[in-house]
Amino acid sequence: MCLDELPAKRFEPIPRAALLSAAHRRKARTSTRGEGWRAGYARARRPCLAGGTALGPCATFSGEDTWAEVPFVEGVVLIGDAAGYSNPLIGQGLSLALRDARVLSEILVSTERWSPESFLPYAEERRKRVQRVRFTAALMAELYGSFGPQRTARRRHFLRRLPEPEFRGRTLLTSGCGPRSPAWAYTEDFRKEVLK
């Protein structure tokens, strides 16, 4: 059956009330008096969730970095995640893909002959940009993604210092890893300053 032959009704959203069985709706309705809908609903659903069976493994992100040293060959140019990706912790995937598209489109418009050599500026600009993203992702993972009493204390210390005008760690939150962020934000001295 083709998509246009399917009845349109099949794709209409299901009302929230229809998702709950009548018994659970009654139980949630009666248990919410005086405690708010969400709390009552959660309490009413606990037995169902506790007796449930997982359908499969949980999805995870391994956090590895991968990239193509040369993201082009004759007839093909890689952009976005196809050209490489970093730890998703800092959420730069879409930003990288859009910047790739912009830089590559400028090259394509500026020349009639699309030889691999014409994409060297794209490859160099992307290499530098991805180095910054990888540095920032590793720093943020160390700051926010590591656990234990000492690391919790380090996070608290970092957060307490954010309002200080002279604290350069604010750069992590304001300019991220964009093309206008200062070069010192990608140095070992900066990393030490943030993690002390």
Q: pLDDT tens digit string along 158-189? A: 999 989 988 888 887 765 666 778 888 889 99
Residue-level pLDDT at 92: 84
Residue 31 lies in a domain: no
Residue 140 lies in a domain: yes
Residue 12 lies in a domain: no
pLDDT-based confidence at 122, cuts 50/70/90?
very high
* Portion of the chain with pLDDT greater than 90, in percent: 31
Residue 154 lies in a domain: yes
CA distance linking residue 147 with residue 194, whole number of Å? 16
Domains in the chain, number: 1
Number of H helices, E strands in the chain: 8, 4
Residue 13 predicted with pLDDT over 60: no
What pTM was computed for the model? Answer: 0.65
Residue-level pLDDT at 181: 83
Residue 27 lies in a domain: no
Residue 33 predicted with pLDDT over 80: no
Residue 98 predicted with pLDDT over 60: yes
Residue-level pLDDT at 7: 46
Residues facing residue 182 across a β-bridge: none
Residue-level pLDDT at 11: 45
Residue-level pLDDT at 87: 80
* Most confident by average pLDDT, 37-41, 46-50, 65-69, 116-120: 116-120
Residue 16 lies in a domain: no
Q: Give the domain range for residue 180.
A: 66-195
List CB contacts of 135: < 8 A, sequence separation 6 or more: 177, 186, 191
Residue-level pLDDT at 44: 72
Residue 89 lies in a domain: yes
Residue 125 predicted with pLDDT over 60: yes
- Where does 70-117 have alpha helices with state H? 93-110
Residue 61 lies in a domain: no
